[in-house]
Amino acid sequence: MSNDTTPSVMPACVEPAVDVLKNINPMKILFSLRNDSTQLGTNIDNNTQVQTSKILNLSNKKLSDQNLRRIAYSLKSNTTLITLNLAGNNFGITGIKYLLIALQSNITLTTLDLQNNKIGDEGIQCLAEFLYDNTTLTTLNLGGNDIEDKGAYHLASAIQHNMTLKILNLQNNNIKDEGAEALAYALENNSILNTLSLGRNQINIDGIQHWANTIQNNITLIAFDIEGNGISDDGVQYLAYALESNIGLTTLNLGRNQITAEGIQFLANALETNKVSQHFLFAH
C-alpha cells in the first residue's frame, strides 16, 4: 500500500442533506420530536432540549436516518453543545450526512459518540471530510460501524491534518492490514492523537509490523489497544523491538491474540530495556 495518504478532492457528501434540512418546516419539528419521544422512549418532548443542551445523550433510541434529520435540524441552532452521544441507533450514511451538515458551523463540540450504528465506509468518508478541518473535536467513538480498509484510509487522511483529535475508538470493525498500515502512517505525521483503539478488528502480522515502525519513534501515543486481532509471537517480536526505544506509550492491550509464553518473554525483555514505559499494562 502506498504511503501517500494525501486526500484527493472528495465528492460533496452533504449537499443533498443541506437541501432537505432547508426544506423542513420549523412548525413540524416540535410535532415530529414529540412523536419520536413517545415511540422511541427518548426524553425529548420538544426541540428546546436539542437546541440548548451542553450534553445530549440520545444513545440506544432506535433513531433512524429520518429521526436524525429532525434532530439535525434542531442541532443547527445549538451553540453550546459539548458532548453528543448517538451510540447504538439505526442510522447509516444518510443520517450521518444530516448530522454533519448540522455540525459544520459548530465550534463547541468536543466529544462525539457514534458507536454501534451503520455508518460504513461511505459514511466514514463524509466524516473524514468533516474532520479534515475541524478544530474542536477531541474524542471520537466509531466502534462497531462496519468500517473496512477503505474507511480507515479516509480516516488516516483526515488524521494527518486534524490538530485537535486526541482519542479515537475504532474497535469492533473490519479493518485489516492495509487499513492498519494507513493509520500507522498517519500517526507518523500527527502529534496530537494520544489514545487509539483498534481492538477486535482483523489485523495480522503485516499490519502490526507497520505499527511497530510507527511506535518506535512516536512520542505522543500513550495508550494503544489492539486486543482481539490476529497477532502472533512474530508480530509481538516486532512490537517488542519498537518498545525498546519508545518513550511515550504507557498502556498496551494485546489481549485475546495468539500470543504464547515466547511472545510474553519478548515483551518482558523490552520492558527491561525501556526505562520510561515502566507502567505498561499487558493484557494477555
Cell of 94: 444518510
CA distance 261 to 270: 14
Per-residue pLDDT of the chain (284 residues; tens, 9 = 90+): 444 443 333 445 766 555 555 554 443 433 343 344 333 334 443 478 899 999 999 999 999 999 999 899 999 999 999 999 999 998 999 999 999 999 998 999 999 999 999 999 999 999 999 999 999 999 999 999 999 999 999 999 999 999 999 999 999 999 999 999 999 999 999 999 999 999 999 999 999 999 999 999 999 999 999 999 999 999 999 999 999 999 889 889 999 999 999 999 998 898 888 766 545 555 44
- Residue 101, CA atoms < 13 Å, CB-side half-sphere: 23
CB distance 162 to 134 below 8 Å = yes
Give residue 48's pLDDT: 83
pTM confidence score: 0.87
pLDDT of residue 169: 98
Residue 94 belongs to what domain range? 15-202
In this prediction, residue 150 carries a pLDDT of 98
Domain count for the chain: 1
Per-residue model confidence (pLDDT) at position 274: 77
In a domain, 184, yes or no: yes
Is there a domain that residue 51 lies in? yes
Domain assignment of residue 39, yes or no: yes
3-state secondary structure of 186: helix
Strands, E assignment, 4-106: 55-57, 83-85
Note whether residue 163 is domain-resident: yes
Distances (CA, A) of 157 to 13, 127, 188, 214: 16, 11, 12, 16
C-alpha span between 137 and 5 (Å, rounded): 21
Please give the pLDDT value at position 145: 98
In a domain, 283, yes or no: no
Q: What is the DSSP string of 57-76?
A: E-TTS---HHHHHHHHHHHT
Helices 205-217 and 177-188 pack at an angle, to 10 degrees, of 10
Q: Does residue 144 lie in a domain region?
A: yes
> For residue 47, what pLDDT is reported?
75
Is position 37 within any domain?
yes
Cα separation of 51 and 29, whole Å?
Answer: 12
Q: From CA 277, how far away is CA 53, in angstroms rounded?
A: 40
CATH number at residue 20: 3.80.10.10
Residue 213 lies in a domain: no
